[in-house]
């Protein structure tokens, strides 16, 4: 698959279709919806009300991140996710989606909240 196709697919994915997968993933590992919401709010600035609005409107990841106030420490999210090194992803939107994936993974894997919410 060429990179443009991959980036297009990421941009057009509906956040509401991915959110329940995030929730299932973290709850299966003993984490809570509240913790997931905290992680998403840290990254995007969306509180639960705003997040539910985005889910209800069935926005794409592109719209989701266009409306987000990305945390200034988001660049501290590094490492591998889905076979990609996050800090080397050149497409800004794809990188933001992978930031979120990585935070959800860390939460599911039992990482301490203060480590997940990188405070520099």
Q: Where are the domains of the chain?
A: 3-116
pLDDT for 89 equals 94
Strand runs (DSSP E) across 1-120, as ranges? 80-81, 84-85
For the chain, state the CA radius of gyration: 14
Pairwise CA distance, residues 34 & 5, whole Å: 34
pLDDT for 5 equals 87
pLDDT for 1 equals 43
Q: Provide block-wise average pLDDT over 10 residues at a time, the chain (120 residues).
A: 78 96 97 97 97 97 97 95 91 96 96 88
pLDDT in tens, 84-98: 899 999 999 999 999
Burial class (CB in 10 A: 0-12, 13-18, 19+), 24: exposed
Pairwise CA distance, residues 97 & 22, whole Å: 12
Q: Report the predicted TM-score, pTM, of the whole model to 2 decimal places.
A: 0.93
Domain 3-116: which topology? Helicase, Ruva Protein; domain 3 (1.10.8)
């Amino acid at each position: 698959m060429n990179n443009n196709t991959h980036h297009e697919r990421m941009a057009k994915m509906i956040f509401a279709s991915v959110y329940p997968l995030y929730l299932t993933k973290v709850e299966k590992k003993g984490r809570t919806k509240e913790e997931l919401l905290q992680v998403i709010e840290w990254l995007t600035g969306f509180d639960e009300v705003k997040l539910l609005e985005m889910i209800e409107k069935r926005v794409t990841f592109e719209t989701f991140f266009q409306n987000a106030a990305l945390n200034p420490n988001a660049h501290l999210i590094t490492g591998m996710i889905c076979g990609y090194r996050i800090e080397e992803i050149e497409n800004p939107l794809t990188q933001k989606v992978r930031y979120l994936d990585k935070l959800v993974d860390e939460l599911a894997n039992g990482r301490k909240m203060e480590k997940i919410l990188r405070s520099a």
